[in-house]
Amino acid sequence: MKVAVVGVTGLVGTVMCEVLTERNFPITEFLPVASERSVGKQLTFRGKDHTIIGLETAVAAKPDIAIFSAGGSVSKEWAPRFAEVGTTVVDNSSAWRMDPTKKLIVPEINAGELTESDKIIANPNCSTIQMVVALAPLHQAFTINRLVISTYQSITGTGVKAVRQYEAEKHDAPLAKEEMAYSHPIFDNCIPHCDIFLENDYTKEEMKLVHETKKIFGDDSLRITATAVRVPVHGGHSETVNIEFAKPYEVAAVKQLLKEADGIVVLDDLKAHSYPMPRFAKNKDEVFVGRIRRDESADNALNIWVVADNLRKGAATNAVQIAEYLVAKSLVGSEKVAV
């Protein structure tokens, strides 16, 4: 199994290498791919040194799988070129998510839709992934009509520049305007502005939650509204989700469904002050759900609190899980390789 990681030197690319190693993904040849300024540098993967290569060289190598985390413009240009030589691309950018010809995959929910002909597969947005993992068993049981979402998103979702801004502000270090990832200080602050503002006055991040959720569930009738906030946190993204169901439910049944679902850990012991927090979700692959309680202001409504490491389940781990599914179902490579 020849595997390329495109954008290997970035925050998510680094975590992808960690996840591939931790999960013992079957790799016979590893291709670390980055921009020209990194080509020729050395990178250690699974205890061996590898030379970083450029995109042209990577395409020529015809990997079985290429996992992309290099930005939308790179994906738009290069994912089709990899696909043309038979590579299956799992793309972490927003480039292909809403393309009607491309599948948007969270393995716990809809990996079964994938076929051998799917050569470009979209990884959803980080805040969408963790939320739909928590919502999927509830939607199946009680049918969701409406969602009201508020996110509290880690600076790591913006990238290295944001982490540097946070550290500089934390230590009162001078920072030039061009060095700032945000237009306001992030240390000791919350910024209700994730991604760019759109014509409807929502941010792009907020509308990703709307459109991607509908696509993953295959349900355009869902009514969804969201507010996304950047917070000075490293560990992961947190979300409050208010859910209105079509059917009556019992809180005990909700908790049981979540406990039985793949990829979810329920932390909901209020007497012990046990509930999900990004500090303790960091470096973990699960989606953590707590504060599960009835919304007493509306019929068939529920509140939940959802937390996950945005660099792992929100990006790298989900992408690797997609690749694992492709291998397990013999959708890539010349023969099935046991995972």
Q: Could you tell me where the beta strands, DSSP code E, fall in 154-270?
A: 223-230, 237-245, 264-266
| Strands 42-45 and 120-122, bridge-based pairing | unpaired
Cα–Cα distance measured from residue 188 to residue 166, given in angstroms and rounded to the nearest whole number: 9
Cα–Cα distance measured from residue 111 to residue 126, given in angstroms and rounded to the nearest whole number: 17
Instruction: Please name the residue ranges forming H helices in 191-337.
Output: 204-217, 251-260, 278-281, 317-328
Residue count of the chain, please give it.
339
Q: Going by C-beta distance under 8 Å and a sequence separation of 6 or more, which residues neighbour residue 101?
A: none
Query: Does the annotation mark 17 as catalytic?
Result: no
Q: How far from the centroid of its chain's Cα atoms is residue 29's Cα?
A: 25
How many angstroms separate the most distant Cα atoms in the chain?
61
**Residue 86 burial (CB count, 10 A):** 11
Cα–Cα distance measured from residue 337 to residue 88, given in angstroms and rounded to the nearest whole number: 16
Return the residue matching tokens 């908790």.
Answer: 255
| Strands 144-153 and 237-245, bridge-based pairing | antiparallel
The token duo for 85 is: 């030589």
Among 17, 139, 194, 237, the one annotated catalytic: 237
Cα–Cα distance measured from residue 238 to residue 227, given in angstroms and rounded to the nearest whole number: 12
Report which secondary-structure segment, H or E, holds 287: strand 287-294
| Strands 48-51 and 120-122, bridge-based pairing | unpaired
Complete DSSP assignment for 83-116? HHTTPEEEE-SSSSTT-TTSEE--HHHHGGG--T
Return the residue matching tokens 């209020």.
Answer: 270
Among 126, 184, 211, 273, the one annotated catalytic: 126
- Catalytic positions are 126, 237
